[in-house]
């Protein structure tokens, strides 16, 4: 594929340079952050919603340790009022577009744990950092740049993964849904890009020697994301990247 020939070490260095910056100095329990993207057309084919969105949306920013770390720290949209226009576009609730319930859920489950780091210890810091990383990654544009576009044709898994690995210089976690109509094809649905505690790009498969608090098992390559029905894509099965109907 022509996309593979276009990638170079220079692009890896360019992508890596985008993510240098903030340093976390205070102790915290997590060591990895997962920036999770949804492909809306796939998500809504499973959840019976009807988005008119042709770009990858933000699902969440998840620390690798802990869930629901502070049930008394309630979500307050007034603290992120300046972020709301971007939130509504980049981090929409695909099932309930007029609701803030999705953001409330992400803050309660993941944000209160991410907040153990000084750089993410307010609601505004957490949501603004998630948006910042989402825009820097710019997943939709990078896939399109290297000819991975929604279409009726099928891709190999290595084509999709290869673009991300060659541009960003890290291994992502790519998840698919399985078609009830064609058991020989998987549907591209969720892509995770990972960062270390200083917000530098990191292989998503990298594990740290710590006790895992989360029961969801999201970082186990064999695990199914029960909330979405996605599971890690089969490396040998064709990948369908569905366009809008």
Phi, psi of 201 (to 5 degrees): -60, 145
Which of 140, 138, 137 minimizes the C-alpha distance to 188?
140
Which of 95, 186, 170, 81 minimizes the C-alpha distance to 124?
81
Q: Say how far apart CA 131 and CA 215 lie, in whole Å.
A: 26
Q: Say how far apart CA 226 and CA 239 lie, in whole Å.
A: 21
**Are the CB atoms for 174 and 160 separated by under 8 Å?**
yes
Look-up of token digits 């593979």: 4
List the catalytic residues: 59, 106, 110
């Amino acid at each position: 594929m022509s996309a593979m020939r276009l990638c170079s070490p220079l692009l890896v260095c360019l992508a890596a340079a985008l993510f240098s910056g903030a340093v976390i100095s205070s102790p915290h329990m997590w060591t990895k952050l997962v920036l999770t993207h949804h492909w809306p057309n796939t998500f809504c084919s499973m959840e019976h919603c009807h988005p008119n969105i042709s770009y990858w949306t933000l699902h969440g920013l998840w620390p690798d340790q802990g869930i629901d770390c502070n049930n008394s720290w309630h979500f307050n949209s007034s603290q992120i009022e300046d972020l709301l226009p971007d939130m509504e576009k980049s981090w929409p609730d695909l099932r309930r577009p007029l609701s803030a319930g999705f953001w409330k859920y992400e803050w309660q489950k993941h944000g209160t744990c991410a907040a153990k780091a000084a750089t993410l210890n307010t609601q505004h810091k957490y949501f603004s950092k998630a948006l910042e990383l989402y825009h820097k990654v710019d997943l939709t544009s990078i896939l399109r740049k290297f000819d991975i576009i929604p279409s009726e044709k099928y891709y190999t898994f290595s084509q999709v993964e290869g673009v991300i690995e060659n541009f960003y210089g890290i291994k992502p976690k790519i998840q698919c849904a399985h078609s009830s109509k064609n058991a020989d094809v998987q549907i591209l649905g969720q892509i995770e890009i990972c960062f270390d505690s200083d917000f530098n790009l990191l292989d998503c498969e990298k594990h740290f020697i710590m006790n895992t608090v989360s029961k969801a098992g999201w970082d186990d390559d064999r695990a199914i994301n029960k909330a979405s029905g996605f599971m890690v894509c089969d490396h040998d099965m064709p990948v369908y990247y569905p366009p809008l109907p």
